[in-house]
Amino acid sequence: MKTAINHLRFITVIGCSLLFATQIFLWVNINMIWLTLVVSFILIPLLDYFFGDNYQQNFENFKYVCEWIPRVFFCVHFYLLFFFISIAEQFSSSEICLIGICLGTITGATGITIAHELMHKKLFIDRLFSKLIMCSVLYGHFCVEHIRGHHVRVATPNDPATAKRGQNLYSFIIQSTFGSFKHACKLESLRLNGKNKVIFSLSNNVISSLLLSLILLISTYFFYNSNALFLFIIQALWAIVLLEATNYIEHYGLLRKKEGKRYEPVQLHHSWNSNFYLSNWILFHLPWHSDHHKNMDKSFAQLRPVHSAPQLPFVYPLMIVISFFPFIFIPIMEKTILKYKQNK
């Protein structure tokens, strides 16, 4: 009986993730694509509060199946992207803007989350899939910076993807976008110099990522039209904004102690967490962020909730919405940080 329940839970979780990723097909068919935003940023937070924040399920018994799930969603990501590119000529410029934002919500939430899962894998094919997804949102350098930069420097002033206490989202996006790209270039230069290879070559993962993104842009315009190119760019920009908004809330105001010239090892209390059901399902346990940073080789199926770690006051989608309003977000987080420190 217990095994049957676990199987049902597993199917429910993957089913919800797939429904979230493909919902945009339903809304565009009934000419109500804006419902993608309603579902993502209003309905899911409401349902999360209905179900509660005691989610603790793990899927280690489905380890083999879970290895293939991100690869399946890789296919879903590109099918979604090219489906909408292929029909872009049917829509006006204003409609393209709305569709781009709705599509970017899916490519940002599901696509980039899947890319994040795959870039931590050991197999070359998985890392290639991750790179292709990130290039499809014009952010290929993230594969370099996230693994070798962010995970090393997280929760320190040196990490552009860690938001300072009191910093607003808009200055953070500029800091993280340019800082991450700059550091990715530096990391690749150091790697190639160490191997006595030419820096300005396709061996440089930043350069090859930029080239892949450029090929996607040119191909979109050449094989389709300017509407398709506009849609591609809008979805990519919005996906990047959502990625950086997620980075913003994941480590906001948290710092590692400096021990001499070095910082203490990454601990469970250096990431914000969330245990709500639906947001964990659609984001493949990304809200269990402390366990991910402490054990970066764990797959989404192996991650665990950490109740002693800092907990976000609201679910991920709602926190992202609130983050766009610094006069609301910063006071809420100040109270949350103080409450966490008092309860330690």
Structural domain count of the chain: 1
pTM of the model: 0.96
CA atoms within 13 A on the CB side of 319: 27
- In order of 9, 36, 55, the CA distances from 284 in angstroms are 14, 19, 13
Distance of CA 57 to the CA centre of its chain: 21
For the record, the structure tokens of 57 come out as 């399920």
Cβ proximity of 236 and 228 under 8 Å = no
Collapse the DSSP code of 4 into the 3-class scheme (helix H, G, I; strand E, B; otherwise coil) and give the result: helix
Q: What is the pLDDT of residue 7?
A: 74
Closest CA to 220 of 242, 206, 198, 235: 235
Separation CA 1–CA 302 (nearest Å): 22
Cβ proximity of 222 and 216 under 8 Å = no
In sequence order, what are the residues at sequence separation of 6 or more whose Cβ sits closer than 8 angstroms to the Cβ of residue 189?
199, 204
Separation CA 179–CA 149 (nearest Å): 11
| Structural domain of 48 | 2-343
Cβ proximity of 187 and 145 under 8 Å = yes
For the record, the structure tokens of 191 come out as 């790697």
- Residue 262 — φ and ψ, nearest 5°? -115, 160
Q: In this structure, which amino acid lies at residue 48?
A: D
Residue 258's beta-bridge partner residues?
Answer: 263
Cβ proximity of 304 and 310 under 8 Å = no
Separation CA 190–CA 298 (nearest Å): 27
Separation CA 212–CA 118 (nearest Å): 18
Largest Cα separation within the chain, whole Å, is: 61
Separation CA 290–CA 58 (nearest Å): 15
Closest CA to 151 of 302, 295, 310, 299: 295
First-residue to last-residue Cα distance in the chain: 39
For the record, the structure tokens of 123 come out as 């197999």
**CA dihedral in degrees (81, 84, 85, 88; nearest 10)?**
-160
DSSP 13: H
Closest CA to 270 of 309, 299, 316: 309
DSSP 311: B
Give, to the nearest 10 degrees, the angle between helix 169-194 and helix 326-343.
70
CA atoms within 13 A on the CB side of 194: 7
* Segment-wise mean pLDDT, segments of 10 residues, the chain, 344 residues: 73 90 95 96 95 81 87 97 96 96 98 97 96 98 97 97 98 98 98 94 96 98 96 98 98 92 93 94 95 93 92 97 98 95 80
Closest CA to 51 of 246, 279, 336: 279
